[in-house]
Amino acid sequence: MFSPEEPTFPTPEKTSNLSRRHALGGLGLVSLGLAATTTPAAAFLSLSQSPKVNVRTSESRNAPAAGRIDLSDLPEEWVRNNTSLVEYTRYLYSLKLKQVCPKQVIEAHAKKKGELWNVLPPKAWWVRMGYTLRVVDRIALEMGVREVEVISAYRSPAYNARCAGAKRGSWHQANVATDVKFPVKASQVTASARHLRNLGLFKGGIGGYWNFTHIDTRGQNINW
């Protein structure tokens, strides 16, 4: 296994109401219980609000070796402060995403506000973003979109507090949320995401903005 925290998944079960061209309904509902932690994000992430998605996050034995992952263009200071970077990169590649580039996910973390750098999420939380990225990837596939731009993923509480417009209880702090851009109108992405969610792809929040879409797997459906 890739990590001792990596859960095992049930065998996929066919569902009759989800028969779209990419086998949207071919995977059984996956639910991950998220245990309480000592971080501030735990205050708004409970077991009753666990991610529920119809796409599996699983390890690939074909993930690239550490020496083949080019991280040379990331900020040196940020790299020094994130010692689990190579392992996290390998985890993202193990998801075998089709339309979402793992390196873009990493670059979304390598940002700072003033002198404060954002950081990688806690290792025990990595799988949470795996669920969300699988959802984003499936939405892109359904829309026929080849590239997805990742604007934001995990945000540490301290970093989140410095982001203009970010809510104190932002789900980015729990590593279940991402802000993404598709090479189409954001309103189309928002509408497609909500349609697929209504078909049972996942349970979570979808926020429509003029130039990007927020997608999370909080376990409860909400729109804004």
Delimit the domains of the chain by residue range: 30-223
**Mean pLDDT across the chain:** 78
pLDDT of residue 38: 34
- For the 30-223 domain, the top CATH level (class) is alpha beta
* Residue 175, Ramachandran bin (φ over 0: left; ψ between -120 and 50: alpha; else beta): left
Residue with tokens 């499936």: 138
pLDDT tens-digit readout, 139-167: 999 999 988 999 999 999 999 999 988 88
pLDDT of residue 70: 76
pLDDT band at 71 (very low <50, low <70, confident <90, very high): confident
> What average pLDDT does the segment 55-60 reach?
54
pTM for the whole structure: 0.74
Q: Decide if 144 contacts 123 (C-beta within 8 A).
A: no
Rounded to whole angstroms, how far apart are CA atoms 19 and 100?
23
pLDDT band at 7 (very low <50, low <70, confident <90, very high): very low
pLDDT of residue 68: 65
AA identity, residue 223: N
Q: Decide if 163 contacts 153 (C-beta within 8 A).
A: no
pLDDT tens-digit readout, 120-143: 999 999 999 999 999 999 999 999
- For the chain, the farthest-separated pair of C-alpha atoms sits apart, in whole angstroms, at 52
- Say if residue 221's pLDDT is above 70: yes
- Say if residue 24's pLDDT is above 90: no
- Say if residue 43's pLDDT is above 80: no
